[in-house]
Amino acid sequence: MFAPPIQRLIAEFAKLPGVGQRTAQRLALHVLRGTDADAASLAAAIAEVKAQVRPCEICFDLTDQVRCRICEDPRRDATTLCVVEDPADVISLERTHEFHGRYHVLGGALSPLDGVDPEDLRLPELYRRLRGSEVRELIVATNPTTSGEATALHIARELRGVAPQVRVTRLAAGLSVGADLEYTDEVTLGRALLGRREL
Amino acid sequence: MFAPPIQRLIAEFAKLPGVGQRTAQRLALHVLRGTDADAASLAAAIAEVKAQVRPCEICFDLTDQVRCRICEDPRRDATTLCVVEDPADVISLERTHEFHGRYHVLGGALSPLDGVDPEDLRLPELYRRLRGSEVRELIVATNPTTSGEATALHIARELRGVAPQVRVTRLAAGLSVGADLEYTDEVTLGRALLGRREL
């Protein structure tokens, strides 16, 4: 058995997602082998992130200000809003350089079995934000999973009452770029067929 | 782009072994989603491990005391010493419950190309420890890799001068328990043949 402080650190690392006992042990021994300064800066970064980061008051993306950089950027198109589940999804969409509107981060997807109901997400805030706004299109970019689809359908239905002027769209489903038909699952391939486009 | 404190934490996590950019991002967002108490206890565990853990003054295994628990345990056989590369190897050997002697942690293996020479390891300390000691067998449990084998040969050669009364042994190489001959590499299979035992 390792000395108690090492055991404690292994236990802490093992709480992280995707980190098992073996990986946690490797990380802990790495920290021990490293310099004191390296360990101190890791510990400080963890403490600081919790102290300094909060949700943007408009879109609920993570920020170290009151409002995030995208909400504060006057060049972003205020007529198009993209709804995502998590802050990481904002980063993924920004990497495409194809979207120039603003975001709304739900903080998850509907999943009644896991106890995630509409009031657990930033849905009331979304409807309040849309009511009487200049938004013309709402791109619901929740994941193409059961709960992501359920969330998208829920939003589309609610919006008919709350903000009927808003067009609700969904990201296309289909083949991954560079993929092989032979190895594409039948559901995705079916969606690719249904969504086929004229050349 | 994430807010700067998140970027900093991602960069810190990405320095850990086996943690790429994507994993680092997932870990950072997990810390952000968790409670303040969880983040504080992870940060504290990292700081404490560096403050409280040091090498045992006898065997150089990690300990939060002056001497490790194995060196302090009078029931451990003082006539058998097992040389390992790293503290993690001590844990692996202890898990077998087959070894009842003591350890000596080298802190790596000889690798002149990477700049690891005999004086970078705890080899002088090993020879000092063996000279005139009651140790009768030295099990060299360095890894079955080029540098582990080189280290074992180096130790065996040096000991002839330093402590000729000590028998130097090496862990057996052979099939993994539960393995399939068909999928065993030829070097390991060759070693298994050479090391065959009478039934």
Q: Are A100 and A74 in contact (CB under 8 A)?
A: no
Number of structural domains found in chain B: 2
Nearest to B171 by CA among B76, B88, B84: B84
Same domain, B41 and B94: no
Three-state DSSP class for residue A190: helix
Three-state DSSP class for residue A74: coil
Residue B63 covered by a domain: no
Q: What is the pLDDT of residues A61-90, one digit of tens each?
A: 999 999 999 999 999 999 999 999 999 999
Q: Output the pTM of the full model.
A: 0.76
Same domain, A158 and A88: yes
Q: Are B101 and B82 in contact (CB under 8 A)?
A: yes
Q: Do A64 and B29 touch (CB under 8 A)?
A: no
DSSP A118: G
Residue B180 covered by a domain: no
Q: Do A1 and B91 touch (CB under 8 A)?
A: yes
Q: Do B87 and A2 touch (CB under 8 A)?
A: yes
The C-alpha atoms of residue B83 and residue B89 are separated, in whole angstroms, by 10
Candidates A27, A48, A50, A54, partner chain B, best to mutate (most B CBs within 10 A): A50
Rg (CA), chain A: 21
Confidence of residue A181 (pLDDT cuts 50, 70, 90): confident
Residue B100 covered by a domain: yes
Nearest CB partner across the interface for B9, out of A3, A23, A46: A46
How does the average pLDDT of chain B come out, rounded?
A: 92
The C-alpha atoms of residue B131 and residue B82 are separated, in whole angstroms, by 15
Query: What CATH number does residue A42 fall under?
Result: 1.10.8.420
Residue B45 covered by a domain: yes
Query: What CATH number does residue A126 fall under?
Result: 3.40.1360.10
Residue A195 covered by a domain: no
Same domain, B96 and B166: yes
Q: Whose structure tokens read 């919006």?
A: A159
Residue B163 covered by a domain: yes
What is the arithmetic mean of pLDDT over A128-140? 93
User: What are the residue ranges of helices labelled H in A34-78?
Assistant: 36-52, 69-72
Can you give the pLDDT at residue A46? 95
Give the HSE-up count for residue B182: Cα atoms under 13 Å, Cβ half-sphere. 0
Residue A183 covered by a domain: no
Can you give the pLDDT at residue B153? 94
What range does the domain containing A162 cover? 77-170
Confidence of residue B181 (pLDDT cuts 50, 70, 90): confident
The C-alpha atoms of residue A78 and residue B112 are separated, in whole angstroms, by 62
Instruction: Give the CA angle between residues B115, B116, B120 to the nearest 5°.
Output: 125
* pLDDT over 90, % of chain B: 74
Q: What's the gap in Å between the CA of A164 and the closest CA on chain B?
A: 33
Same domain, A87 and A45: no
Strand partners, A83: A104, A140
Q: Do B23 and A23 touch (CB under 8 A)?
A: no
What is the arithmetic mean of pLDDT over B55-80? 95
Residue B179 covered by a domain: no
Can you give the pLDDT at residue A188? 87
Residues 47-106 of B with CB under 8 A from A: 47-50, 52-53, 62-65, 68-69, 86-88, 91, 94
Same domain, A85 and A161: yes
Q: Is the pLDDT of residue B192 over 90?
A: no
DSSP characters over A143-163: -SSHHHHHHHHHHHHHHHHH-
